[in-house]
Amino acid sequence: MSSENLTFTIQGDSEGYITFECPFCGSEFKLQADDFQNEDEPFDEIFCPYCGLAKNKNEFLSSDVIEKAQALAYNYMVEEINKTFNKMKRSFNSSKSIIKMEFKPLKKVTTKELKDKDTTEVEFTCDCCERRVKVLYCVGKSKIFCPYCGVDL
Amino acid sequence: MNRVELRKLSLEFRRISSNFLNSVDDNADVNLSRFLKFINENELIKSFIEQKISGVEYDFKECFGFGVNGWASFNPPEDESCHIKALYDYLMFIHNDNNVNVERQAMRYCWSNRKINVIIQNFIDMAFKPLIDFINDQLSMEMIVLDEEDKTNGSNTFIQNIETVNGSANQQINGTINTYNTFENVEGILNTIDKLFMSLSEIKSICSDDKDDVKDDLEVVQEQLKLQSPKKKRLSKALEGIKRFVKEFSMELGVSLATTAINVTDWNFLIQQVEQFIEKL
Protein backbone atom coordinates (compact mmCIF):
# COMPACT_ATOMS: atom_id res chain seq x y z
CA MET A 1 0.00 0.00 0.00
CA SER A 2 1.40 3.38 -0.97
CA SER A 3 1.51 6.28 1.44
CA GLU A 4 0.90 9.92 0.72
CA ASN A 5 2.30 12.86 2.68
CA LEU A 6 0.00 15.84 3.01
CA THR A 7 1.44 19.08 4.31
CA PHE A 8 -0.17 22.26 5.57
CA THR A 9 0.96 25.37 7.36
CA ILE A 10 -0.18 26.99 10.58
CA GLN A 11 0.12 30.74 10.93
CA GLY A 12 1.44 31.72 14.34
CA ASP A 13 0.44 34.76 16.36
CA SER A 14 2.19 38.11 15.88
CA GLU A 15 5.28 36.75 17.73
CA GLY A 16 5.37 33.42 15.88
CA TYR A 17 3.81 31.26 18.60
CA ILE A 18 1.65 28.18 17.88
CA THR A 19 -0.92 26.67 20.26
CA PHE A 20 -0.48 23.15 21.67
CA GLU A 21 -2.73 21.10 23.94
CA CYS A 22 -1.67 18.78 26.78
CA PRO A 23 -3.00 15.22 26.40
CA PHE A 24 -2.94 14.74 30.19
CA CYS A 25 -4.56 17.89 31.59
CA GLY A 26 -6.06 19.37 28.40
CA SER A 27 -4.58 22.83 29.02
CA GLU A 28 -3.33 24.99 26.15
CA PHE A 29 0.05 26.69 25.84
CA LYS A 30 2.08 28.26 23.06
CA LEU A 31 5.52 27.42 21.68
CA GLN A 32 7.73 29.38 19.30
CA ALA A 33 7.58 27.87 15.81
CA ASP A 34 11.36 28.48 15.45
CA ASP A 35 12.16 26.54 18.63
CA PHE A 36 9.72 23.75 17.81
CA GLN A 37 11.07 23.23 14.28
CA ASN A 38 14.74 23.82 15.09
CA GLU A 39 16.57 20.98 13.34
CA ASP A 40 19.83 21.74 15.18
CA GLU A 41 18.24 20.81 18.51
CA PRO A 42 15.77 18.02 17.78
CA PHE A 43 13.50 16.56 20.49
CA ASP A 44 10.86 13.83 20.66
CA GLU A 45 8.97 14.67 23.80
CA ILE A 46 7.29 17.73 25.27
CA PHE A 47 6.59 18.40 28.93
CA CYS A 48 3.30 20.13 29.66
CA PRO A 49 4.21 23.52 31.22
CA TYR A 50 1.23 23.22 33.58
CA CYS A 51 1.19 19.59 34.82
CA GLY A 52 4.81 18.80 33.95
CA LEU A 53 4.10 15.38 32.43
CA ALA A 54 5.80 14.32 29.21
CA LYS A 55 4.61 12.60 26.05
CA ASN A 56 5.58 12.36 22.38
CA LYS A 57 5.39 15.80 20.75
CA ASN A 58 2.76 14.66 18.23
CA GLU A 59 0.37 13.97 21.10
CA PHE A 60 0.38 17.68 21.93
CA LEU A 61 -1.16 18.80 18.63
CA SER A 62 -4.27 20.87 19.23
CA SER A 63 -7.73 19.63 18.26
CA ASP A 64 -7.87 22.22 15.43
CA VAL A 65 -4.68 20.83 13.90
CA ILE A 66 -5.93 17.23 14.15
CA GLU A 67 -9.28 18.26 12.65
CA LYS A 68 -7.54 19.96 9.73
CA ALA A 69 -5.26 16.94 9.13
CA GLN A 70 -8.27 14.62 9.14
CA ALA A 71 -10.17 16.91 6.74
CA LEU A 72 -7.21 17.02 4.34
CA ALA A 73 -6.87 13.22 4.47
CA TYR A 74 -10.61 12.83 3.85
CA ASN A 75 -10.48 15.22 0.87
CA TYR A 76 -7.54 13.34 -0.58
CA MET A 77 -9.46 10.07 -0.25
CA VAL A 78 -12.54 11.61 -1.91
CA GLU A 79 -10.42 12.92 -4.78
CA GLU A 80 -8.86 9.49 -5.38
CA ILE A 81 -12.20 7.66 -5.22
CA ASN A 82 -13.85 10.15 -7.59
CA LYS A 83 -10.93 9.85 -9.98
CA THR A 84 -11.14 6.04 -10.00
CA PHE A 85 -14.90 5.97 -10.44
CA ASN A 86 -14.73 8.54 -13.26
CA LYS A 87 -12.24 6.35 -15.05
CA MET A 88 -14.45 3.29 -14.50
CA LYS A 89 -17.48 5.23 -15.74
CA ARG A 90 -15.71 6.21 -18.93
CA SER A 91 -14.72 2.63 -19.71
CA PHE A 92 -18.22 1.33 -18.93
CA ASN A 93 -19.98 3.97 -20.99
CA SER A 94 -18.03 3.45 -24.22
CA SER A 95 -20.13 3.08 -27.37
CA LYS A 96 -19.57 -0.70 -27.61
CA SER A 97 -20.55 -1.42 -24.01
CA ILE A 98 -23.99 -2.77 -23.21
CA ILE A 99 -23.75 -1.90 -19.50
CA LYS A 100 -23.98 1.75 -18.59
CA MET A 101 -22.75 3.26 -15.35
CA GLU A 102 -23.60 6.41 -13.44
CA PHE A 103 -22.10 7.70 -10.22
CA LYS A 104 -22.51 10.71 -7.99
CA PRO A 105 -19.11 12.16 -6.99
CA LEU A 106 -18.43 12.44 -3.25
CA LYS A 107 -18.21 15.98 -1.92
CA LYS A 108 -15.14 17.38 -0.23
CA VAL A 109 -15.33 18.96 3.20
CA THR A 110 -14.27 22.58 3.65
CA THR A 111 -11.00 23.21 5.46
CA LYS A 112 -10.22 26.37 7.33
CA GLU A 113 -6.90 28.18 7.54
CA LEU A 114 -5.19 27.73 10.90
CA LYS A 115 -4.19 31.03 12.41
CA ASP A 116 -3.17 31.66 16.01
CA LYS A 117 -4.50 34.84 17.54
CA ASP A 118 -2.70 37.02 20.06
CA THR A 119 -3.90 35.97 23.50
CA THR A 120 -3.24 36.93 27.11
CA GLU A 121 -0.47 34.37 27.71
CA VAL A 122 2.90 35.67 28.91
CA GLU A 123 6.28 34.66 27.51
CA PHE A 124 8.76 32.83 29.76
CA THR A 125 12.32 31.82 28.85
CA CYS A 126 13.94 28.71 30.32
CA ASP A 127 17.24 29.45 32.14
CA CYS A 128 18.43 25.96 31.30
CA CYS A 129 17.79 25.58 27.53
CA GLU A 130 16.93 29.20 26.69
CA ARG A 131 13.82 28.22 24.75
CA ARG A 132 10.55 30.06 25.16
CA VAL A 133 6.97 29.23 26.12
CA LYS A 134 3.82 31.30 26.46
CA VAL A 135 1.56 30.39 29.37
CA LEU A 136 -1.07 32.10 31.47
CA TYR A 137 0.69 34.34 33.96
CA CYS A 138 -1.81 33.61 36.75
CA VAL A 139 -0.28 30.13 37.09
CA GLY A 140 2.78 31.72 38.71
CA LYS A 141 6.40 31.02 37.85
CA SER A 142 6.81 28.37 40.58
CA LYS A 143 4.28 26.20 38.81
CA ILE A 144 5.57 26.40 35.22
CA PHE A 145 7.76 23.76 33.62
CA CYS A 146 9.92 24.12 30.53
CA PRO A 147 8.24 22.17 27.70
CA TYR A 148 11.61 21.13 26.25
CA CYS A 149 13.84 20.17 29.19
CA GLY A 150 11.18 19.72 31.85
CA VAL A 151 12.80 21.80 34.61
CA ASP A 152 10.61 24.20 36.54
CA LEU A 153 11.10 27.78 35.46
CA MET B 1 15.92 19.95 50.99
CA ASN B 2 17.00 23.04 49.01
CA ARG B 3 15.40 24.35 45.85
CA VAL B 4 17.88 22.68 43.48
CA GLU B 5 17.30 19.27 45.07
CA LEU B 6 13.57 19.86 44.95
CA ARG B 7 13.74 20.79 41.26
CA LYS B 8 15.72 17.63 40.53
CA LEU B 9 13.28 15.50 42.50
CA SER B 10 10.32 17.10 40.71
CA LEU B 11 11.85 16.42 37.29
CA GLU B 12 12.76 12.84 38.23
CA PHE B 13 9.28 12.18 39.58
CA ARG B 14 7.60 13.64 36.50
CA ARG B 15 9.81 11.57 34.22
CA ILE B 16 8.95 8.32 36.05
CA SER B 17 5.25 9.26 36.21
CA SER B 18 5.20 10.09 32.49
CA ASN B 19 6.81 6.76 31.64
CA PHE B 20 4.23 5.02 33.80
CA LEU B 21 1.32 6.89 32.19
CA ASN B 22 2.69 6.19 28.69
CA SER B 23 3.16 2.46 29.41
CA VAL B 24 2.35 -0.16 26.82
CA ASP B 25 1.75 -3.90 27.15
CA ASP B 26 5.49 -4.75 27.19
CA ASN B 27 6.60 -2.38 29.93
CA ALA B 28 3.56 -1.62 32.07
CA ASP B 29 4.56 -3.97 34.94
CA VAL B 30 8.14 -2.70 35.04
CA ASN B 31 7.00 0.92 34.96
CA LEU B 32 4.54 0.29 37.78
CA SER B 33 7.29 -1.31 39.90
CA ARG B 34 9.67 1.58 39.19
CA PHE B 35 7.01 4.13 40.09
CA LEU B 36 6.14 2.38 43.36
CA LYS B 37 9.82 1.92 44.25
CA PHE B 38 10.49 5.60 43.63
CA ILE B 39 7.65 6.90 45.78
CA ASN B 40 8.43 4.40 48.56
CA GLU B 41 12.16 5.13 48.63
CA ASN B 42 11.97 8.89 48.50
CA GLU B 43 11.48 10.21 52.02
CA LEU B 44 9.74 13.45 51.02
CA ILE B 45 7.23 11.82 48.68
CA LYS B 46 6.65 8.99 51.14
CA SER B 47 5.94 11.58 53.85
CA PHE B 48 3.37 13.35 51.60
CA ILE B 49 1.47 10.10 51.20
CA GLU B 50 1.80 9.04 54.84
CA GLN B 51 0.56 12.40 56.09
CA LYS B 52 -2.40 12.24 53.75
CA ILE B 53 -3.51 8.69 54.56
CA SER B 54 -2.52 8.34 58.21
CA GLY B 55 -5.51 7.30 60.30
CA VAL B 56 -7.70 6.74 57.23
CA GLU B 57 -9.65 3.49 57.26
CA TYR B 58 -10.66 2.61 53.74
CA ASP B 59 -10.59 -0.60 51.70
CA PHE B 60 -9.38 0.01 48.13
CA LYS B 61 -11.80 -2.69 46.90
CA GLU B 62 -14.65 -0.25 47.58
CA CYS B 63 -13.11 2.15 45.08
CA PHE B 64 -12.08 -0.48 42.56
CA GLY B 65 -15.16 -2.69 42.94
CA PHE B 66 -14.22 -6.27 42.11
CA GLY B 67 -17.37 -8.16 41.09
CA VAL B 68 -17.80 -11.93 41.40
CA ASN B 69 -17.99 -12.35 37.62
CA GLY B 70 -14.48 -10.98 37.16
CA TRP B 71 -15.51 -7.50 35.99
CA ALA B 72 -14.60 -4.45 38.03
CA SER B 73 -16.09 -0.99 38.38
CA PHE B 74 -14.54 2.30 39.42
CA ASN B 75 -16.30 4.13 42.26
CA PRO B 76 -13.98 6.85 43.63
CA PRO B 77 -14.82 8.01 47.18
CA GLU B 78 -15.79 11.60 47.86
CA ASP B 79 -13.08 12.07 50.48
CA GLU B 80 -9.68 12.82 48.89
CA SER B 81 -7.68 11.08 51.63
CA CYS B 82 -9.69 7.87 51.14
CA HIS B 83 -9.13 8.17 47.38
CA ILE B 84 -5.35 8.57 47.77
CA LYS B 85 -5.24 5.63 50.20
CA ALA B 86 -7.23 3.48 47.76
CA LEU B 87 -4.86 4.35 44.89
CA TYR B 88 -1.75 3.62 46.93
CA ASP B 89 -3.14 0.33 48.28
CA TYR B 90 -4.22 -0.73 44.78
CA LEU B 91 -0.72 0.01 43.52
CA MET B 92 0.74 -2.18 46.28
CA PHE B 93 -1.82 -4.89 45.53
CA ILE B 94 -0.87 -5.08 41.83
CA HIS B 95 2.83 -5.00 42.65
CA ASN B 96 2.85 -7.56 45.47
CA ASP B 97 0.53 -10.23 44.12
CA ASN B 98 2.33 -12.65 41.81
CA ASN B 99 -0.83 -13.46 39.89
CA VAL B 100 -1.68 -9.83 39.22
CA ASN B 101 -0.37 -7.64 36.46
CA VAL B 102 -1.35 -4.30 34.93
CA GLU B 103 -2.80 -5.77 31.75
CA ARG B 104 -5.00 -8.24 33.62
CA GLN B 105 -6.29 -5.48 35.91
CA ALA B 106 -6.93 -3.14 32.97
CA MET B 107 -8.97 -5.80 31.17
CA ARG B 108 -11.40 -6.07 34.10
CA TYR B 109 -12.94 -2.68 33.27
CA CYS B 110 -15.15 -1.77 30.31
CA TRP B 111 -13.45 0.36 27.67
CA SER B 112 -14.70 1.80 24.40
CA ASN B 113 -11.35 1.19 22.68
CA ARG B 114 -10.16 -2.30 21.71
CA LYS B 115 -6.42 -1.61 21.44
CA ILE B 116 -4.58 -3.16 24.38
CA ASN B 117 -2.05 -0.33 24.73
CA VAL B 118 -4.82 2.29 24.78
CA ILE B 119 -6.70 0.22 27.37
CA ILE B 120 -3.59 0.00 29.58
CA GLN B 121 -2.96 3.76 29.32
CA ASN B 122 -6.61 4.56 30.03
CA PHE B 123 -6.52 2.23 33.04
CA ILE B 124 -3.36 3.80 34.50
CA ASP B 125 -4.79 7.26 33.88
CA MET B 126 -8.04 6.35 35.63
CA ALA B 127 -6.47 4.44 38.50
CA PHE B 128 -3.24 6.29 39.33
CA LYS B 129 -3.26 9.76 37.73
CA PRO B 130 -4.90 11.34 40.82
CA LEU B 131 -2.02 10.02 42.96
CA ILE B 132 0.54 11.48 40.50
CA ASP B 133 -1.31 14.83 40.50
CA PHE B 134 -1.37 14.83 44.29
CA ILE B 135 2.40 14.26 44.59
CA ASN B 136 3.11 16.80 41.83
CA ASP B 137 1.01 19.42 43.60
CA GLN B 138 2.73 18.73 46.91
CA LEU B 139 6.16 19.17 45.29
CA SER B 140 5.04 22.46 43.72
CA MET B 141 3.73 23.62 47.10
CA GLU B 142 7.10 22.81 48.66
CA MET B 143 8.73 24.98 46.01
CA ILE B 144 6.32 27.84 46.67
CA VAL B 145 7.14 27.60 50.40
CA LEU B 146 10.89 27.61 49.63
CA ASP B 147 10.50 30.63 47.32
CA GLU B 148 8.65 32.52 50.02
CA GLU B 149 11.31 31.61 52.58
CA ASP B 150 14.04 32.80 50.21
CA LYS B 151 12.19 36.08 49.73
CA THR B 152 11.90 36.55 53.49
CA ASN B 153 15.53 35.61 54.17
CA GLY B 154 16.84 37.71 51.32
CA SER B 155 14.74 40.79 52.04
CA ASN B 156 17.75 42.59 53.56
CA THR B 157 19.82 42.25 50.39
CA PHE B 158 19.65 45.07 47.86
CA ILE B 159 21.10 44.87 44.39
CA GLN B 160 21.94 48.25 42.95
CA ASN B 161 22.81 48.57 39.28
CA ILE B 162 24.90 51.64 38.51
CA GLU B 163 25.96 52.34 34.94
CA THR B 164 28.17 55.40 35.44
CA VAL B 165 29.41 56.63 38.81
CA ASN B 166 30.49 60.25 38.97
CA GLY B 167 31.85 60.62 42.48
CA SER B 168 30.82 58.08 45.12
CA ALA B 169 27.57 56.18 45.46
CA ASN B 170 26.39 56.34 49.03
CA GLN B 171 23.18 54.96 50.44
CA GLN B 172 22.35 54.32 54.06
CA ILE B 173 19.87 51.57 54.81
CA ASN B 174 19.64 48.54 57.08
CA GLY B 175 20.91 45.39 55.39
CA THR B 176 23.54 44.45 52.84
CA ILE B 177 24.12 46.56 49.76
CA ASN B 178 25.57 44.81 46.73
CA THR B 179 26.66 47.27 44.08
CA TYR B 180 27.33 46.10 40.54
CA ASN B 181 28.63 48.32 37.77
CA THR B 182 26.59 47.44 34.71
CA PHE B 183 27.24 48.33 31.09
CA GLU B 184 23.88 48.63 29.48
CA ASN B 185 25.36 50.64 26.67
CA VAL B 186 23.89 48.60 23.82
CA GLU B 187 24.07 51.69 21.62
CA GLY B 188 27.80 51.91 22.38
CA ILE B 189 28.37 48.28 21.37
CA LEU B 190 26.40 48.77 18.15
CA ASN B 191 28.44 51.91 17.30
CA THR B 192 31.69 50.02 17.91
CA ILE B 193 30.51 47.22 15.61
CA ASP B 194 29.70 49.76 12.89
CA LYS B 195 33.21 51.21 13.19
CA LEU B 196 34.77 47.72 13.11
CA PHE B 197 32.79 46.88 9.99
CA MET B 198 34.18 49.95 8.23
CA SER B 199 37.74 49.25 9.36
CA LEU B 200 37.64 45.63 8.14
CA SER B 201 37.43 46.64 4.48
CA GLU B 202 40.59 48.74 4.95
CA ILE B 203 42.69 45.80 6.15
CA LYS B 204 44.27 44.24 3.07
CA SER B 205 46.49 41.69 4.82
CA ILE B 206 43.59 39.50 5.96
CA CYS B 207 41.96 37.24 3.36
CA SER B 208 38.33 37.96 2.45
CA ASP B 209 37.03 34.60 3.75
CA ASP B 210 38.27 35.33 7.27
CA LYS B 211 36.88 38.85 7.06
CA ASP B 212 33.50 37.49 5.89
CA ASP B 213 33.44 35.03 8.82
CA VAL B 214 33.99 37.73 11.42
CA LYS B 215 31.52 40.01 9.62
CA ASP B 216 28.90 37.27 10.00
CA ASP B 217 29.67 37.01 13.72
CA LEU B 218 29.46 40.79 14.13
CA GLU B 219 26.13 40.79 12.31
CA VAL B 220 24.80 38.10 14.66
CA VAL B 221 25.80 40.20 17.69
CA GLN B 222 24.21 43.29 16.11
CA GLU B 223 21.02 41.38 15.34
CA GLN B 224 20.75 39.80 18.82
CA LEU B 225 21.36 43.10 20.62
CA LYS B 226 18.46 44.64 18.74
CA LEU B 227 16.09 41.86 19.85
CA GLN B 228 13.83 42.18 22.87
CA SER B 229 15.01 38.79 24.19
CA PRO B 230 18.48 38.08 22.78
CA LYS B 231 19.60 34.44 22.63
CA LYS B 232 22.52 33.65 24.90
CA LYS B 233 23.73 30.70 22.83
CA ARG B 234 23.84 32.63 19.57
CA LEU B 235 25.64 35.54 21.17
CA SER B 236 28.18 33.23 22.83
CA LYS B 237 28.83 31.42 19.55
CA ALA B 238 29.34 34.70 17.67
CA LEU B 239 31.60 35.98 20.45
CA GLU B 240 33.76 32.86 20.20
CA GLY B 241 34.20 33.57 16.48
CA ILE B 242 35.20 37.18 17.16
CA LYS B 243 37.68 36.10 19.86
CA ARG B 244 39.22 33.56 17.49
CA PHE B 245 39.58 36.21 14.80
CA VAL B 246 41.24 38.73 17.16
CA LYS B 247 43.62 36.07 18.50
CA GLU B 248 44.61 34.92 15.02
CA PHE B 249 45.02 38.35 13.43
CA SER B 250 46.18 40.51 16.36
CA MET B 251 49.27 41.57 14.39
CA GLU B 252 47.30 42.63 11.32
CA LEU B 253 44.76 44.46 13.46
CA GLY B 254 47.58 46.29 15.22
CA VAL B 255 49.12 47.39 11.93
CA SER B 256 45.77 48.69 10.70
CA LEU B 257 46.08 51.43 13.34
CA ALA B 258 47.92 53.52 10.79
CA THR B 259 45.10 53.46 8.25
CA THR B 260 41.99 53.53 10.41
CA ALA B 261 41.07 54.89 13.80
CA ILE B 262 40.36 51.35 15.03
CA ASN B 263 42.88 49.09 16.76
CA VAL B 264 43.05 45.85 18.83
CA THR B 265 41.87 47.72 21.91
CA ASP B 266 38.54 48.41 20.21
CA TRP B 267 38.14 44.72 19.43
CA ASN B 268 39.00 43.78 23.02
CA PHE B 269 36.61 46.45 24.29
CA LEU B 270 33.84 44.96 22.16
CA ILE B 271 34.59 41.44 23.45
CA GLN B 272 34.51 42.66 27.04
CA GLN B 273 31.23 44.54 26.54
CA VAL B 274 29.52 41.60 24.83
CA GLU B 275 30.79 39.21 27.54
CA GLN B 276 29.26 41.43 30.22
CA PHE B 277 26.03 41.64 28.27
CA ILE B 278 25.86 37.83 27.99
CA GLU B 279 26.54 37.40 31.72
CA LYS B 280 23.47 39.47 32.49
CA LEU B 281 21.14 37.38 30.29
Contact B220, B240 (CB under 8 A): no
The predicted-structure confidence for A90-115, as pLDDT tens digits, reads as follows 888 888 788 888 889 999 999 888 88
Which residue intervals of chain A are DSSP H helices?
A: 33-36, 63-92
Amino acid, single-letter form, for residue B196: L
Reported as a pLDDT band with limits 50, 70 and 90, residue A142 is: low
* A54/B136 Cβ within 8 A: no
- Residue A27 CA to residue A47 CA, distance in Å, equals 12
**Looking at the partner chain, which of A54, A125, A142 has a beta carbon nearest the beta carbon of B140?**
A142
Residue B147: C-alpha distances to residues A141, B3, B6 (Å): 10, 8, 11
Q: Considering only CB atoms, which chain A residues are within 8 Å of B147?
A: 142
In this predicted structure, what is the pLDDT of residue B20?
94
User: What is the SS3 assignment for A34?
Assistant: helix
The residue among A127 and B21 whose pLDDT is bigger is B21
pLDDT of the residue at B181: 44
CA distance B138 to B13: 12
Provide the pairing of β-strand A114-115 with A10-11: parallel
Q: Do B7 and A52 touch (CB under 8 A)?
A: no
Among candidate residues B280, B201, B202, the one with its CA nearest the CA of residue B236: B280
Mark yes or no for CB contact A150/B136 under 8 Å.
Answer: no
Residue B144's pLDDT is: 82
Number of Cβ atoms within 10 Å of the Cβ of B130: 16
- Among chain A residues, CA nearest to B140: A143
pLDDT at B88 over 50: yes
Spatial CB neighbours of B254, under 8 Å, sequence gap ≥ 6: B263, B264
- On average, the pLDDT of chain B sits at 81
The answer to whether B132 contacts A123, with C-beta atoms less than 8 Å apart, is no
Mind listing the pLDDT tens digit for each residue in B253-263? 766 554 556 67
Residues of B within 8 A of A150 (CB-CB) are: 11, 14-15
Distance of CA B256 to the CA centre of its chain: 46
Chain B nearest C-alpha distance from A86 (Å) = 37
Q: Mean pLDDT over residues B24-50, rounded? A: 93
The predicted pLDDT at position A66 comes to 93
Residue A58 Cα, gap to closest chain B Cα (Å): 13
Note the pLDDT tens digit of each residue in B153-197: 665 554 555 554 545 555 554 455 444 444 456 877 888 888 888
Residues 147-206 of B with CB under 8 A from A: 147
Could you give the CA distance from residue A139 to residue B223 in angstroms, rounded to a whole number? 32
Kindly report the number of other CB atoms within 10 A of residue A34's CB atom: 13
Q: Is the pLDDT of residue B70 over 60?
A: yes
Beta bridge partners of residue A45, listed in sequence order: A56
How far off is chain A from B109, nearest CA to CA, in Å?
20
pLDDT above 90 for A74: yes
Q: Per-residue confidence at A140, pLDDT binned at 50, 70, 90?
A: low
**Cβ neighbours, 10 Å, residue B126:** 15
Distance CA B204, CA B252 (A): 9
Residues ≥6 apart with Cβ < 8 Å to B199: B256, B260, B261, B262
Greatest extent of chain A over all pairs of C-alpha atoms, in Å: 79
Percent of chain B residues topping a pLDDT of 70: 84
Per the model's pLDDT, the better-predicted residue between B24 and A98 turns out to be B24
Classify residue A26 as left (phi > 0), alpha (psi -120 to 50) or beta.
left
Question: Is residue A77 over pLDDT 70?
Answer: yes
Judged by a CB distance cut-off of 8 A, whether residue B234 touches chain A is no
- State percent of chain A over pLDDT 70: 95
Which residues on chain A are in Cβ contact (under 8 Å) with B21?
24, 53, 55
